Every structure is written in C-alpha cells, then in structure tokens.
Amino acid sequence: MENNEFEDKNKGELGRMDDQKKYSPKFIIGMTPIYSYLAGKLTGLKLKGINTPIQKNKSVASISSITHFGTVRSPMAGRIIDINNDLIKCPKIVNDSPFSKGWFAKIETENEIAESSWKDLKRIEDCKDDLEEQIKRYNVKCFKVFPDYQMFELGTECSATLAKLDEFMDKSMLEGDVIRLVSDDPTADLELLNWAERNSQEIIEIVQEKNPVAINNQANSLLFNIIIKKKSDQ
C-alpha cells in the first residue's frame, strides 16, 4: 500500500496504530510502519519488565523521538513473558524492521480472554481501506531503511544539490547513517547513481512519486526519493 508493507497474518486495532501477532494464548506486540513514520526516528524506548501484569489497553512500552512521545498498548490483558532488549540499546530497530526485529514484547493471556478479545480485532486485509486513507492523510512514506536525516532540494539543479549533500555527509553523518534526499530535478536518479559510484557510497533505493505542485509543466512532474547510506568518508 503506497510503498508501505504490512504482514497479512497480523491483527491489530486501527485506532491505536500498533500491531500484534497471534500465538494463542500468546501474542507479540509491535508497531505499524504508519506509527513508526509519524513518530520519526526513535531515540528512546522503555519496556515494562518480564512477569509484569498488563491490563487491556494499557501500555507495554513508551517511545520517544525528537518530536514525539507516545506509548504502545496491549489489546488484551495478560502477563509479559519476554521483551526485546535490543530495542533499548538501539530504538531505531523499530523504524527499520517493525514486523520482525522490531517487536516489543511477548504476552501470555488466559484462553478465555484471548478468545473473547480476538473477536474485536481486525486482520490487516480487512483494514486496507482505512490504512490507505491514513497513509494519504498523513503523507506516510516507507522505505527499505528508515532515514536518519532528510534533505529536500526542490527547484535546485543537481550539481548544487550534490555539493550540499557532500558537505552534509562529511560534517554531520557517520558511517552507516542513512539520508533521504528529495529532488525534483529530472536527472536526479542518474546523477545520484553516478555520484554514489564515484564516491563509494550506497544508494539503497530510489522511489518516484508524483510532484503535487507540478501544474501545467511549471514544475517537474516527478519527485525522486533517494535513500543513501554513508559507507565511507569522501
């Protein structure tokens, strides 16, 4: 959906924007790519401990970024039986891999609770229309790797953009950091591929989208979202 991926076997409550998998009477709590995008690059994460009892719709974890603080809640009552300690060391795992490495906690509930509560949840395919509406409303963009930085260069020639990119990567980025470059230059994709080869950098992916401000050819009709990983000093 709009370059956003959801696992078909997952169920969740749409309004809460998190996600959970069924291992009846055990399940896993995680976060959807939509919430991940809206929250931004996570810089802090706290998890409740193993054996902590959890009430329905109460928090299992808290998350924070430069612009957001929120909680991730459980759709069922139960007891935490395992937590993902890797997230405490590196919260951005949630952004990069929400459906596999980015799980928060495993919860065990009573069979009776699981059976009654499960009926209130929807499968991802049953939420498709609502999810697509949210993706469009919030202009959600999902990429193979969640960017650490973003650079928007609209109406700028590619040569000037590359000069800014070189300077920013040299001064502000560490090896392994990822930046999203948005350009409306019609040659941006080819120019960046050549630039990456010359400078031994990695283009993770290039995603095209319609330029919402392009009217009567007064602006380029496409935007390029170019995801770049710093591999070495230039």
Same fold, 11-137 and 149-229: no
Digitized pLDDT (tens) for each residue of the chain, 234 residues in all: 455 555 544 555 444 445 555 446 888 999 999 999 999 999 999 999 999 999 999 999 999 999 999 999 998 899 999 999 999 999 999 999 998 999 999 999 887 666 666 777 777 778 888 889 989 899 899 899 999 999 999 999 999 999 999 999 999 999 999 999 999 999 999 999 999 999 999 999 999 998 877 655 555 789 999 999 999 765
The three-state secondary structure class of 23 is strand
Q: Which CATH number fits domain 149-229: 3.90.1330.10, 3.40.630.30, 3.30.110.40, 3.20.20.80?
A: 3.30.110.40
Q: Are 169 and 179 in contact (CB under 8 A)?
A: yes
Q: What angle do CA 194, 198, 202 make, to 5 degrees?
A: 75
| CATH number of the structural domain 11-137 | 2.40.50.100
pLDDT of residue 54: 95
Domains of the chain, residue spans: 11-137, 149-229
**In the beta sheet, which residues pair with residue 227?**
180, 205
CA terminus-to-terminus distance, the chain: 36
The three-state secondary structure class of 28 is strand
What's the CA gap between 226 and 190, in Å, rounded?
Answer: 11
What's the CA gap between 93 and 132, in Å, rounded?
Answer: 24
Q: Are 223 and 186 in contact (CB under 8 A)?
A: no
Give the pairing of strands 11-12 and 122-123.
antiparallel
